[in-house]
Structure 1
Amino acid sequence: MRFFECEYQGGRHVGFDPPADTAVVHPIDGGVLDLLSTVDSLGDLRAAAGAGRTVPTAELSPLPPLRPASVGDLFVSGYAQTHHGKAGVETPDQPTWFFRGLGDVVKLPGDALTVPTSVLGLGEEAEVVLVYLTGTDGKTRYVGFTFGNDLTDIGKFVADRGHLGYAKLTDCSVSPWLFSGPPPATVNGEVAIERGGQPAWKGSFTTGTAALRFDLDTMIDHLLSYPALRHPGRVHYVFLGADRGSFQDGFRIADGDQVTIDVTSHDVQLSNTIVWATQS
């Protein structure tokens, strides 16, 4: 099942089916996080949401999945060098983890992604994103998954592997769709980059849990064993790492490029323009 949240006529609503020209949305006065506290899974949300109504899709403003009212309650992090395709890298007991930022670094398809002017070599990273919610009891539970572009200054990481944290200090994008069910074993798709309105690079990717060099349950159990991450009400986006992409193919993303990730296996598209930050 797919789930999405949006703003409509000043209030928050949820929907459960891919919208075309119209969509059926359900008002949720207390917010979807309050609603989730009353059910066991996304699959139970449709009944809990109550009656819906059909509205023009163009009047809806999509939101990132489960985004809290405060950006400080959305914690965005992930893993590096997790995929079998990243050859020549020793496999430690746990993959390298990074903190990307809070909710304000998360953008949606169609938004611009801002990066520092100091980037050494920018690359897209098409990834599965797991979404977790910590309850009032301090227990963090898995809610569902989506897809994102974990945009990264890979050149900075290659120059000094101790600088992974700096390499991740850019905006990222996620799909507004949240999928129920376990994380997908296999995901495939294609990335297309345009420059000046013309095709500049294209390549395919494969990701999902089957592509990982690590056991996912062990990764997540270890991460969420730290009490500092289990603040009640906190939502976690966890990026699971990427297949090889344009950077490994020798291409470098530039200011103004349009990066489109087509997750063909799950009918999800993310397209964003890359913008170099201006410093005062």
Structure 2
Amino acid sequence: MRLIQYHDQGQLRVALVESLDTLRPIDIEGGTYGLARIALDSRQPITRVVEARLGASQGGYQSLIDDRRLLPPLTHPDPAHCLVTGTGLTHLGSADTRDAMHAKAQVEDAALTDSMRMFKLGVEGGKPAPGETGAQPEWFYKGDGSCVVAPEAAIAVPHFAEDAGEEPELAGLYVIGDDGQPWRVGYAIGNEFSDHITERFNYLWLAHSKLRACSFGPELLIGELPAHLEGTSRIVRGSETVWQKPFLTGEANMAHSLANLEHHHFKYPNFRRPGDVHVHFFGTATLSFADGIQTQDGDRFEISLPEFGRPLRNPLRFESSSPAIAVKSL
């Protein structure tokens, strides 16, 4: 089951995706968040809540895209109550990259970089047995819901940014129950857009490099996630594809299990605040930056995974300079 959110004359709407251009509207107030709240309160699977509220079939998916009416597939009524985070160094990458990483992991720990040491921890302990705690992954904060850009909408590049690079990956979407229990609503394609030059200059600037916009969607996949997923990430400039590469994701291609990544995020009580929404990016293995690509104003990112329906697409918009921020005393 896949859902989308969109706006219709100022109202938040949610619909079931039946085919490439066939949607069935869902009779619900509050969008996907409203569906999740009903599922929690009534102790039903969200699929049953959706099925009980389906309207008549209708077309119009493409018109939503053309009119820029798509929204992220899960939002909170108050963006301050949506926390956007992620984990890195989680994917094994291609076979060649994997072999190279494993070879480097055999050297003495004293000779390993912090990144390689973190990767090695994941390979050795990122998939614990059920009931056991695995290795802690790298973790980062991106912002609250205000940093999320809708599918098809432009991703803004701050004037102070050194780079504007895509990160194609999976995102887990969650709602916290009234008792503090995290519930996964589903998964979406994510672009965890980052500043890789800032990060490369000094790894202690990783936190700065992640404080950027991001996007996920357009479709929310509800149900079991396939262990092996093959997608394509591309950059389109005008009518020309200037870079394209396949990428692998899913647990079969990761050093960590999703359950382990979720545990190490939600183990902190302040991430289990009742009613909150969480968007958690699970990491990437493919970057255009690694191939020397420098993006430009107007470039469009396109990230596709067949199991998730339509691709996630976002153009880039570079911002002009702005004055330094000065804090004033009251």
Q: Provide the TM-score with structure 1 as the length reference.
A: 0.90
Kept after mapping to 1: 8 A contact 2:85/2:143: yes
Deviations 1:87-137 (A, max 9, x none): 352233322111111112111221110122333333211101101100121
Aligned residue in 1 for 2:163: 121
Query: What code does the residue aligned with 1:81 have?
Result: L
CA–CA distance in 2 between the matches of 1:175 and 1:68?
15
Kept after mapping to 2: 8 A contact 1:193/1:259: yes
Query: 1:50 and 1:204, CA in 2 relative to 1: closer, same or farther beyond 3 A?
Result: closer
Deviates more, 1:23-32 or 1:228-237: 23-32
- How far 1:277 sits from its partner (Å)? 2.1
CA–CA distance in 2 between the matches of 1:41 and 1:162?
42
Kept after mapping to 2: 8 A contact 1:157/1:164: yes
Aligned residue in 2 for 1:158: 200
Tell me, yes or no, if structure 1 residue 255 matches structure 2 residue 277: no
Query: What code does the residue aligned with 1:46 have?
Result: V
Kept after mapping to 1: 8 A contact 2:87/2:140: yes
Q: What does residue range 97-136 of structure 1 map to in structure 2 within 5 Å?
A: 97-136=139-178
Kept after mapping to 2: 8 A contact 1:11/1:27: no
CA RMSD across the alignment: 2.2
Identify unmatched segments of 5+ residues in structure 2.
105-115, 122-134, 323-330
Deviations 1:59-110 (A, max 9, x none): 6833212201111111111011111126352233322111111112111221
CA–CA distance in 1 between the matches of 2:50 and 2:229?
26
Query: 1:129 and 1:166, CA in 2 relative to 1: closer, same or farther beyond 3 A?
Result: same
Kept after mapping to 1: 8 A contact 2:87/2:261: no
Kept after mapping to 2: 8 A contact 1:109/1:272: yes
Kept after mapping to 1: 8 A contact 2:88/2:138: yes
Give 1 or 2: higher strand fraction: 1
Q: What does residue range 19-58 of structure 1 map to in structure 2 within 5 Å?
A: 23-39=23-39, 40-49=44-53, 51-52=55-56, 54=58, 56-57=60-61, 58=63
Query: What code does the residue aligned with 1:34 have?
Result: G
Tell me, yes or no, if structure 1 residue 64 matches structure 2 residue 68: no
Aligned residue in 1 for 2:3: 3
- How far 1:30 sits from its partner (Å)? 4.6
Deviates more, 1:180-189 or 1:71-80: 180-189
Tell me, yes or no, if structure 1 residue 206 matches structure 2 residue 206: no
Identify unmatched segments of 5+ residues in structure 1.
none
Aligned residue pairs: how many? 280
Query: 1:263 and 1:235, CA in 2 relative to 1: closer, same or farther beyond 3 A?
Result: same
